[in-house]
Amino acid sequence: MLETAVVVKVTEGLHARPATQFAKLAKEFSCSLLVLHGSTSADAKSAVKLMLLGIREHDQIVLRADGADESDAVARMAQFLSSPEAGVQPASAAHAADAAACGGDTDAPDASSRTGAGNGADGDRSGAPADETPPLIGIPASEGVAFGDAFVYLPEPLRAARQFIGPHETATEAMRFDRALDDALAALDSQFDRMGDHDGIAEALVSVARSDEFAGEIRTRIAAGRDATAATLEVGAALAASFESIDDEYLRSRADDIHGITRQVALRLNGQQDASLAGIAKPCVVLASDLTAPDLARANVANIAALVCTRGSATSHLAIIARSHGIPAVFGLAVPDSRLRGVAQVAVDGTLGHVWFEPTRALQERFAARIDEARAHRAALDVYRDVGPVTRAGRPVRIAANLGSPDEIEAAKAVGAMGVGLFRTELLFMNRRSLPGEHEQYSVYRRVAEAFAPHPVVIRTLDIGGDKPVPGIAFAREDNPFLGWRGVRMCLDRPDVFKPQLRALLRAASAGNVQAMLPMIADVDEVRRVKALMAECARELAGEGIPFGAPKLGIMIETPAAALTADMLAPEVDFFSIGTNDLTQYVMAADRANPKLAPLYRCDHPAVLRAIAMVCDAARQAGIEVAVCGEAAAQPRMIPLLVGLGVDELSMSPACVLRAKKIVSEL
């Protein structure tokens, strides 16, 4: 028997992919191989058991081998664990991955459709239609009105029709399970293929699904007389619970994969199918508990007349995407999910946050009239497309667009957006299986810059935290992720993630009017450290003979610390952009995602307005420009206040650009 202690150098530890590769390597040896980690141990040939050990980078483990080839085995396994890259293919392989992070159709919803109308053009209206049925109330998340057939997007409840089977059924039941598993894994494989899975995530998932701990245990239970669906649901739930108890955020989130595989296998065993937004064939109002950006990316947005969710908030990314497509939306609707099932027709007022299930004929007629009115109003706004608005006092104000993906370029150009005041890069990192490389980012930033030249395009560096984990960045569990290791804080600690983005930005700046913007700044030192890193990237690029430019550097003012020290920050940067979504939540100490706090979460609260005024004063004194890129920039009641306080640029969802141009022109 041979034992060796090893310090694990594998980046982010033995998570799904490295564990799968490690187990594969272990199986090449005939000796028994055990991994000891603290007081726990696991067979090195089982990827699932290895994952459940929760081994992190820098942990010390012991390898114990027993058998003829033990010394060879220990040497190879130790070598594997000492390599940071182990189990993950070189990043270069991921460069070719599809850049379409945020997917989705760029078509605005069909404005000529009775069931798909509304894009904020009637946002000034007040008062819900006075119908005899009072509306259900939610959070107004995206302006506009719509009515139409409901498309209920809730997971089908899954249950086993029976618990036990007879002894004569075990063989066919086991075959049924094998077929369902093969089928589910084949579907998973082609889905990953379409997404460009260059780093072997699918392989890791397949190895978990086929492991003794999942498929093996299910087969054992079937042989003992358990129904296949019942066995699948039980084993899946138990295995997912084991992952959920691991003290590592990334491995814990593998529980979602187990739930996913379990569900897909059980659906097939039961002959059931989950609803998919891809299957919506005509404009409908989608009713859901919650949706993710990838859910929406699968749909043809032209067929989504409106969105109604029982969860979510007005500043969630889903709300931002809905606004950019002009889809009316109401979130946080106070009804149980079960109430959504069986609804046939829905009327939605996204401006007021009102929803009616099964609207009366009278209400439908009123909605039809409002939709026509909104369409006419929108058509009238078209004259502002090529207008660079100037207030009556002669002050020009730039109206720019907020984008989350190059797919939205056309919509923004169609309304005459004067550049991009905020390009959110996190969608590029989120809706995928591996981090985007420098070249892929460069191509995206350059494409946006070229589309809007000579107008400025402000690229915000990665603004992500533990509330929105990204594959390839291990976020530890935090009690307060919004006050945690996020945005520029995380980036400064992870130059391997940050430098490729800065290099991509510098390179794109040679192709257009690209500007860089840092989120979540709270201290002058953070700005200085980013500037030093940018200078380092510029030196590297120069050394490599790669062309690059000198982008202007700005910061988001979204923490109270930044607002209170705006005068100290101003000399360090070329511009400010006020992120009223976060500034409001931090100034008011009111979570922007909590529907219960909506009455307190107000960007027009005197505390927030005073903070904005301080920032504008500091910018004026330092002679730099100040923009607003939070949702307040598009609100008709906020625009006069912001312009009055001295804001030079308002940046918003493309759907709101024309209205903002009109409002500013009339001030």
User: Which sequence positions are flagged as catalytic?
Assistant: 317, 629
Q: Which is nearer to ligand PEP, 232 or 577 (CB)?
A: 577
* Edge-to-edge strand ranges of the sheet holding 329-331: 136-137, 354-357, 345-349, 145-153, 284-288, 304-309, 329-331, 139-142
**φ, ψ for residue 611, nearest 5 deg:** -65, -45
**Is it true that the peptide bond before 469 is cis, omega within 30 degrees of 0?**
no
Whether the Cβ atoms of residue 635 and residue 384 lie closer than 8 Å to each other: no
Helix (H) or strand (E) holding 402: strand 398-403
Sign of CA dihedral 272, 278, 284, 285: positive
| 483 Cβ neighbours under 8 A, 6+ residues apart | none
Shortest distance, position 616 Cβ to ligand PEP, whole Å? 16
Asked if residue 582 binds Mg ion (CB under 5 A), the reply is yes
Shortest distance, position 29 Cβ to Mg ion, whole Å? 51
- 131/363 Cα distance (integer angstroms): 6
The residue number whose beta carbon is nearest to Mg ion equals 582
At which residue do the structure tokens 């609803």 appear? 275
Helix (H) or strand (E) holding 432: none
Q: Which is nearer to Mg ion, 139 or 521 (CB)?
A: 521
Tell me which of ligand PEP, Mg ion, none is bound by residue 324, counting a contact when its beta carbon lies within the kind-specific cut-off of 5 to 8 angstroms: none
Question: Using the rule CB under 5 A, which residue among 103, 579, 595, 654 binds Mg ion?
Answer: 579
Tell me which of Mg ion, ligand PEP, none is bound by residue 580, counting a contact when its beta carbon lies within the kind-specific cut-off of 5 to 8 angstroms: ligand PEP
- 181/384 Cα distance (integer angstroms): 57
Helix (H, G, I), strand (E, B) or coil at 100: coil
Helix (H, G, I), strand (E, B) or coil at 345: strand
Shortest distance, position 556 Cβ to ligand PEP, whole Å? 7
Binding region for ligand PEP (CB under 6 A): 315, 422, 424, 463, 558, 579-582, 629-630
Q: Which is nearer to ligand PEP, 303 or 315 (CB)?
A: 315
Shortest distance, position 607 Cβ to ligand PEP, whole Å? 16
Shortest distance, position 424 Cβ to ligand PEP, whole Å? 5
Among 199, 192, 204, 289, which Cα is nearest to 243's?
204
Cα torsion for 26, 30, 35, 39, to the nearest 10°? 150
**Greatest distance between any 2 Cα atoms in the chain:** 88
Q: Which is nearer to ligand PEP, 310 or 425 (CB)?
A: 425
- 268/183 Cα distance (integer angstroms): 8
Shortest distance, position 249 Cβ to ligand PEP, whole Å? 21
Q: Which is nearer to Mg ion, 70 or 558 (CB)?
A: 558
Q: Which is nearer to Mg ion, 122 or 582 (CB)?
A: 582
Residues that bind Mg ion (CB under 5 A): 558, 579, 582
